[in-house]
Chain A
Amino acid sequence: MADKLLEFLQQLLNGLSQGSIYALIALGYTMVFGVLRFINFAHGDVFMLGAFAGFYIGPKTLALFGTGPSYPGAFAVLVVAMVLCAVIGIVIEKLCYRPLRERPKLTVLITAIGVSLFLENAGQFVFGANPQSFPELMVDRPLELPESWGKLSALTVTVSQVLTFGVTLLLLFLLRFIVLKTKMGMAMRALSFNPVAASLMGINNDVVISFTFGLGSALAGAAGILTSIQQPSIDPLMGVNAGLKAFVAAVLGGIGNLPGAALGGILIGVIEVLVVGYVSPTYRDAIVFGVLILILIFKPTGLLGTSEREKV
Chain B
Amino acid sequence: MKHSLLLSTALAFLTAASALAQDEIKVGEFASLTGGSASFGQSSHKGTALAIDEINAAGGVLGKKLKLIAEDDQSQAGQPATIVRKLISQDKVVAVLGEVASSRSLEAAPICQQNKIPMISPASTNQKVTEIGDYIFRVCFIDPFQGSVMAKFAQSKGWKKVAVLTDVKSDYSIGLAQAFKEALPKGGGVIAKETSYSTGDKDFKEQLTSIKAAKPDAIFVPGYYGEVALIGKQARLLGIKVPLLGGDGWVGDSLLKVAGTSLDGSFFSCHFSADDKSEAVQTFVKKYKAKYNGETPDDMAALGYDSAVILAEAIKKAGTTEGPKLRDAIAATKAHPGITGSITLDEKRNATKSAVIMGIGGGRFQFVETVAP
Chain A residues proximal to chain B, CB less than 8 Å: 3, 7, 10-11, 14, 18, 121, 124-125, 128-134, 142, 156, 158, 227, 231-233, 235, 237-238, 240-241, 273-274, 276-277, 280-282, 284-285
Contact = CB atoms under 8 A, between A and B. Distances in A.
Contact of B209 (A7, A133, A158, A235): A7
Given A11-B206, A133-B258, 4 more contacts: A14-B205, A233-B258, A240-B200, A282-B198
Contacts of A11: 205-206, 209
B178 interface: no
A277 B238 CA distance: 14
A133 B36 contact: no
B339 to A, nearest CB: 20
B254 A132 contact: yes
Given A3-B213, A235-B226, A282-B168, A158 B196 contact: no
Given A238-B202, A276-B207, A277-B209, A130 B39 contact: yes
Interface of B: 34, 36, 38-39, 42, 168, 195-198, 200-203, 205-207, 209-210, 213, 225-227, 229-230, 233-234, 237-239, 252-254, 257-258
A18 B198 contact: no
Contact of A285 (B198, B254, B258): B198
A121 B34 contact: yes
A121 B74 CA distance: 11
15 contacts: A10-B209, A14-B209, A125-B34, A131-B225, A158-B237, A231-B203, A232-B233, A233-B229, A235-B226, A237-B36, A237-B200, A277-B209, A281-B198, A281-B207, A284-B198
A3 B168 CA distance: 28
Contacts of B234: 231
B304 to A, nearest CB: 15
Q: Secondary structure of the B side of the interface?
A: helix
Given A7-B209, A14-B205, A276-B207, A282 B196 contact: yes
A203 to B, nearest CB: 40
A229 to B, nearest CB: 12
B198 A233 contact: no
A132 B253 CA distance: 8
B197 A129 contact: no
Listed residue (A121, A240, A282) with the most chain B CB atoms within 10 angstroms of its CB: A282
A153 to B, nearest CB: 12
B206 A130 contact: no
A116 to B, nearest CB: 14
A188 B56 CA distance: 64
Contacts of B238: 10, 156
Contacts of B207: 276-277, 281
A276 B237 CA distance: 19
A121 B75 CA distance: 12
A237 B202 CA distance: 12
B34 A231 contact: no
A158 B237 CA distance: 8
A18 B203 contact: yes
Nearest to B225: A131
A35 B99 CA distance: 47
B34 A124 contact: yes
Given A3-B213, A276-B207, A156 B237 contact: yes
Contacts of B209: 7, 10-11, 14, 277
A18 B197 CA distance: 16
Listed residue (A238, A273, A277) with the most chain B CB atoms within 10 angstroms of its CB: A277
A168 B39 CA distance: 33
Contacts of A142: 237, 239
Given A7-B209, A142-B237, A131 B254 contact: yes
